[in-house]
């Protein structure tokens, strides 16, 4: 491992103050941590302390321990971000050392970091969105529907190579309509990837149907073909085949469609592809979201492109998408008096938001490149740490690396939380991998098919949850932001290793 810059801050308290000045410059932090023979923190030394020593003409031999001053304000490793913020504000200090149970400094939080939060995946606007939005205002197309809705549908469809698309108010709304279009009825079952965000499967319940959860496989972190096959065999035996299978493409990467689709075809079960996280990814040259009978994208604020909130449903079948548009606008029959024969929803995207989407779509290729670059920087920075197992990208897959995720080999939830706490202390937003749906209280009792039947290697999703972490991954992260994440994660891993 390369030396931790934090280690450069530690100096023996017996160091004469004149020698400390050079160390201060080398650390470039404006602070040093003077430690005693046992490695305990005796005091912090700021450049202000050294300046005063100079002005007071203190003898060169005066040690750091002898400088005037008082015991430093410190926190222990359980300190939360809020506690640190309060401490910094209350005392007007710029650095807070973190000490272990024996009083040895293990970390330091700066006021500057806390004022510059690093988000996991924040919106990143391009140059053209405002022009589209201004056009919507100028032309008074503020009401839902309008030329940008049509344009966004056409352009997104062309981008992913699916001929028909319906712009909707959210990815969740698109999932709900997708299930209705696949005729999911109360009492039906629907299979769904377990390792996902809850919006993949809540719409199953909206339809009055019951989910059956399918594990992930280690090679893609997406739906396990082995688990799906066993689940379909079971369902066929019980004479309860699912109405559809929701295949999720996690964290910017497609599932193994060549293995999953033939299984579904064998049993005549259609696939609803949840591509909310994978717009811009490809699988064997084809766009993620172009494989299911119906597929869904999301433009929520944290996704790779955003309309602040929104979704899209795509399908090859024109009538399916026409029906999605009808159901999303209260299911009006073509009559001036608002005739209704079925239940509809208010799920359509507005023309203003579609304008934002058109601008965002134009920068999607750059967003993919930026996120992949973020991932490459992390991978290179941690190349020497074998315990970090990045989400794999098998041959033939091209992930967007929407989120840069890894699992710590041999790691558990305790270590994961310790790492997340330490990042959060520095105002760096990171998260565990999605908590699998089969472990959610909401879905307790739902059937679950693990990747392997033997205990070891079974429940891949559960293991990834325990050991997995998603790092800041936004396309607008600066190199300085990435350095901060890398430095902090290294320091933490060194301590937990
Ligand atoms: C974000 C997301 C959704 C829901 O999309 P919204 O636009 O937020 O409603 C569905 N599935 C997955 C996997 C997601 O990540």
Same domain membership, residue 287 and residue 177: yes
Whether 119 is in a domain gets the answer no
Whether 32 is in a domain gets the answer yes
Q: What Cα–Cα distance (Å) separates residue 140 from each residue in 127, 136, 237, 351? A: 22, 6, 58, 10
Q: How far is the CA of 67 from the centre of ligand 1 (A)?
A: 57
CATH of the domain at 72: 3.10.580.10
Same domain membership, residue 139 and residue 17: no
Query: 193 in ligand 1 pocket by Cβ < 6 Å?
Result: no
Whether 239 is in a domain gets the answer yes
pTM of the model: 0.93
Q: How far is the CA of 196 from the centre of ligand 1 (A)?
A: 9
Same domain membership, residue 457 and residue 330: no
By three-state DSSP, how is residue 99 classified? strand
What are the tens digits of pLDDT across the range 37-87?
999 999 999 988 999 999 999 999 999 999 988 778 999 989 999 999 999
Domain boundary among 92, 114, 136: 114
Q: How far is the CA of 172 from the centre of ligand 1 (A)?
A: 6
By three-state DSSP, how is residue 167 classified? strand
What are the tens digits of pLDDT across the range 111-155?
999 999 999 998 888 888 888 888 888 776 666 677 899 999 999
Whether 207 is in a domain gets the answer yes
Task: Report the Cα 351 to chain-centroid distance in Å.
Answer: 28
Q: Mean pLDDT across the chain, nearest whole number?
A: 94
Q: How many domains does the chain have?
A: 3
CA atoms within 13 A on the CB side of 315: 23
CA nearest neighbour of 87 among 109, 71, 68: 109
Q: For position 71, what pLDDT does the model report?
A: 79
Same domain membership, residue 385 and residue 283: no
Which of the four pLDDT bands, split at 50, 70 and 90, describes residue 458? confident
Same domain membership, residue 174 and residue 82: no
Query: 249 in ligand 1 pocket by Cβ < 6 Å?
Result: no
- H or E segment and range at residue 319: helix 318-328
Q: For position 457, what pLDDT does the model report?
A: 66
Whether 2 is in a domain gets the answer no
What are the tens digits of pLDDT across the range 337-363?
999 999 999 999 999 999 999 999 999
Domain boundary among 57, 91, 114: 114
Same domain membership, residue 216 and residue 356: yes
Residue ranges of alpha helices (H) inside 66-143 are 81-91, 111-115, 129-138
Structural domain boundaries enclosing 37: 7-114
Same domain membership, residue 173 and residue 313: yes
Which of the four pLDDT bands, split at 50, 70 and 90, describes residue 455? low
Atom of ligand 1 nearest to the CA of 299: 7
What are the tens digits of pLDDT across the range 243-291?
999 999 999 999 999 999 999 999 999 999 999 999 999 999 999 999 9
Query: Is the per-residue pLDDT at 497 higher than 60?
Result: no
**Residue 331: left (phi > 0), alpha (psi -120 to 50), or beta?**
left
Same domain membership, residue 379 and residue 351: no
Q: How far is the CA of 220 from the centre of ligand 1 (A)?
A: 19
Domain boundary among 87, 114, 141: 114
Q: What Cα–Cα distance (Å) separates residue 195 from each residue in 252, 408, 429, 463? A: 14, 17, 21, 10
Query: 347 in ligand 1 pocket by Cβ < 6 Å?
Result: no
Top mutation candidate among 274, 281, 301 for ligand 1, by most atoms within 8 Å of CB: 274
By three-state DSSP, how is residue 207 classified? coil
Scan for tokens 């579904």, then name that residue: 264
Same domain membership, residue 173 and residue 314: yes
Query: 304 in ligand 1 pocket by Cβ < 6 Å?
Result: no
Mean pLDDT of 209-238: 98
Q: How far is the CA of 394 from the centre of ligand 1 (A)?
A: 24
Q: How far is the CA of 249 from the centre of ligand 1 (A)?
A: 11
Same domain membership, residue 140 and residue 42: no
Same domain membership, residue 195 and residue 326: yes
Same domain membership, residue 368 and residue 332: no
Q: For position 263, what pLDDT does the model report?
A: 98
Count, in order, helices (H) and strands (E) of the chain: 15, 21
Q: How far apart are CA 396 and CA 3, in angstroms?
A: 37
Whether 90 is in a domain gets the answer yes
Query: Which residues contact residue 118 at a Cβ distance below 8 angstroms, ignoring those fewer than 6 apart?
Result: 427, 428, 429, 472, 477, 481, 484, 485
Q: For position 316, what pLDDT does the model report?
A: 97
Whether 352 is in a domain gets the answer yes
């Amino acid at each position: 491992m390369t030396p931790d810059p934090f280690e450069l801050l530690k100096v023996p308290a017996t160091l004469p103050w004149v020698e400390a000045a050079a160390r201060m410059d080398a650390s470039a932090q404006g602070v040093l941590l003077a430690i005693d023979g046992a490695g305990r923190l005796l005091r912090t030394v700021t450049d202000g302390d050294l300046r005063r020593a100079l002005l007071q003409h203190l003898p060169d031999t005066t040690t750091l321990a002898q400088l005037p001053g008082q015991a430093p304000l410190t926190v222990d490793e359980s300190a939360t971000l809020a506690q640190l913020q309060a401490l910094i504000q209350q005392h007007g200090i710029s650095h807070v050392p973190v000490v272990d149970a024996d009083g040895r400094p293990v970390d330091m939080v700066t006021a500057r970091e806390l004022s510059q939060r690093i988000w996991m995946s924040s919106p990143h606007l391009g140059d053209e969105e405002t022009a589209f939005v201004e056009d919507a205002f100028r032309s008074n197309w503020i009401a839902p529907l309008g030329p940008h809705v049509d344009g966004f549908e056409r352009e997104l469809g062309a981008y992913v190579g699916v001929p028909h698309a319906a712009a909707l108010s959210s990815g969740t709304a698109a999932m709900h309509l997708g299930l209705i279009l696949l005729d999911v009825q109360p009492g039906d079952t629907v299979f769904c990837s377990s390792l996902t965000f809850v919006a993949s499967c809540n719409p199953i319940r909206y339809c009055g149907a019951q989910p059956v959860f399918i594990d992930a496989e280690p090679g893609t972190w997406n739906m396990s073909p082995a688990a799906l096959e066993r689940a379909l065999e079971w369902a066929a035996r019980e004479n309860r085949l699912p109405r559809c299978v929701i295949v999720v493409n996690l964290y910017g990467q497609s599932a193994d469609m060549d293995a999953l689709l033939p299984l579904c075809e064998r049993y005549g079960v259609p696939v609803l592809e949840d591509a909310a996280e994978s717009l811009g990814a490809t699988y064997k040259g084809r766009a993620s979201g172009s494989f299911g009978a119906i597929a869904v994208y999301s433009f929520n604020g944290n996704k790779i492109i955003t309309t602040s909130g929104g979704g899209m449903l795509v399908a090859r079948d024109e009538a399916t998408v026409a029906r999605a548009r009808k159901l999303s606008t209260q299911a009006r029959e073509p009559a001036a008096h608002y005739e209704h024969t079925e239940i509809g929803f208010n799920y359509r995207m507005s023309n203003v938001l579609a304008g934002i989407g058109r601008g965002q779509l134009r920068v999607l290729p750059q967003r993919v490149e930026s996120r992949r670059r973020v991932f490459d920087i992390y991978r290179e920075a941690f190349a020497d740490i074998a315990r970090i197992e990045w989400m794999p990208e098998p041959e033939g897959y091209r992930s967007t690396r929407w989120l840069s995720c890894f699992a710590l080999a041999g790691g558990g939830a305790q270590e994961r939380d310790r790492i997340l706490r330490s990042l959060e202390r520095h105002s760096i937003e990171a998260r565990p991998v999605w908590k699998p749906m089969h472990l959610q209280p909401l879905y307790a009792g739902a059937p679950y098919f693990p990747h392997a039947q033997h205990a070891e290697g079974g429940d891949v999703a559960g293991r990834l949850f325990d050991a997995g972490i998603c790092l800041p991954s936004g396309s607008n992260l600066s190199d300085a932001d990435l350095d901060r994440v890398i430095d902090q994660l290294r320091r933490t891993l060194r301590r937990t290793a």
